[in-house]
Amino acid sequence: MNKILITPKSFPVTMKEPIELIQAAGLEPIYNHSGRTLTEAEIIELSKQDVVGIIVGVDPISAHVLDSLPQLKAVSKYGMGTDNIDCKRAEELDIEVRVAAGTNNVSVAELAIGLIFAAARKIPTTVAEVKNGSWKRVMGNEITGKTLGIIGAGQIGREVALRARGLCMNVIVYDPYLQDASFFQERDIEISTSLEELLGVSDFVSLHVPATPTTTHIINKTTLGYCKPSCYLINTSRGELVDEEALYDALINNKLAGAAQDVFSIEPPSPNHKLVELDSFILTSHTGAYTQEAVERMALRATENLLSMLKEKSHR
Ligand code: NAD
């Protein structure tokens, strides 16, 4: 029997609908029981017999993996962001790749807003103080009337913009690939054509671009230099977007007020990482899409996408 490998750790295995769809298509699911992201070798080992489709999280679907699985027909991303998939090699091998668009944008946007509050009101530091028996207060900042600069005006960037407007923030976006500005114009959101200008006027900067060769280290020593010293950086997108050495320097030299990330260059970071030890740096464990609502939507959409790709291929 042909099989489907399901790698995401958060895939809701007790949810009936995706499994019923897979079984109705005459396929057998194989799960990742390791409790962590799989390695290339593990993906190959699990998939080398009869796996025709993979539902993948952040596990590496490299050229080596794709070349090692001649029977593989389709890869379905459980969420957005194909930076862990070698899409060029997949196309060369006629392996189709599809993302589960629109399934986790609300969850990630809500976390980005949560991190804005966490950074501005120093919530993690204050909670740690109280838990350690202290009643020390750490002065924070209001967000009302402040300017949020959003880099990347896609699905998540738009949801963040909507919520920030609801919180009485001014919003400015930068996205050189934006085709239709009406969503932003209708909500009194400024569109900037200059990253330098956006960084210079923002009190909070939130990153919502994919990790690509162009966006890698989009936040670096030079671009951090455009920011106000009172600015907070929020990154719920990908660790690769930020030059962490430059961010560390900016934080310890008071050139940036703080940073809050859900992602890191290497996840998890090594113990006692100098950036993670700073009070002005908040890190959550890549939890943006990890809500009950989002995992259920991602599981169903990724399954539907995979089955439809396999069906289309069988009709060719
Ligand atoms: P999207 O494709 O809808 O939007 C990305 C936007 O970035 C597009 O509008 C694109 O034009 C813009 N863009 C690309 N290059 C740019 C550049 N150099 N400068 C400015 N804008 C640029 O994607 P999305 O659904 O909004 O997701 C954004 C990213 O969020 C994903 O690629 C993924 O890396 C990340 N993400 C993280 C989590 C998490 O758990 N933390 C979950 C889902 C997605």
175 close to ligand 1 (CB < 6 Angstrom): yes
Res. 183 pLDDT band, cuts 50 70 90? very high
What is the number of alpha carbons within 13 Å of residue 64 lying toward its C-beta? 9
Q: How far is Cα 166 from Cα 184, in angstroms, rounded to an integer?
A: 14
Res. 271 pLDDT band, cuts 50 70 90? confident
211 CA distance to ligand 1 middle (Å) = 8
Please report how the helices 105-120 and 155-166 are oriented relative to each other, as an axis angle in degrees rounded to 10.
50
Average pLDDT over residues 139-167: 98
Q: How far is Cα 44 from Cα 101, in angstroms, rounded to an integer?
A: 26
Ligand 1 site-directed mutation target among 77, 220, 237, most atoms within 8 Å of CB: 237
Ligand 1 site-directed mutation target among 99, 108, 194, most atoms within 8 Å of CB: 108
pLDDT, position 44: 97
The mean of the pLDDT values for the chain is 97
Res. 49 pLDDT band, cuts 50 70 90? confident
pLDDT, position 314: 87
pLDDT, position 217: 98
Average pLDDT over residues 98-124: 98
What residues contact residue 77 under an 8 Å CB cut-off, 6+ apart? 56, 85, 97, 98, 99, 100, 302
Residues with a catalytic annotation lie at 238, 267, 286
pTM of the model: 0.94
Q: Is the peptide bond before 271 cis (omega within 30 degrees of 0)?
A: no
289 close to ligand 1 (CB < 6 Angstrom): yes
CA angle 68, 266, 82 (to 5 degrees): 50
What residues contact residue 157 under an 8 Å CB cut-off, 6+ apart? 150, 151, 173, 175, 206, 208
pLDDT above 70 covers what percent of the chain?
Answer: 100
57 close to ligand 1 (CB < 6 Angstrom): no
Ramachandran class of 168: left when φ > 0, alpha when ψ lies in -120 to 50, beta otherwise: left
Question: Distance between alpha carbon 37 and the CA centroid of its chain, in Å?
Answer: 15
For 287-302, write each residue's pLDDT tens digit: 999 999 999 999 999 9
208 CA distance to ligand 1 middle (Å) = 4
Which atom of ligand 1 lies at the shortest distance from residue 156's CA?
26
pLDDT, position 45: 96
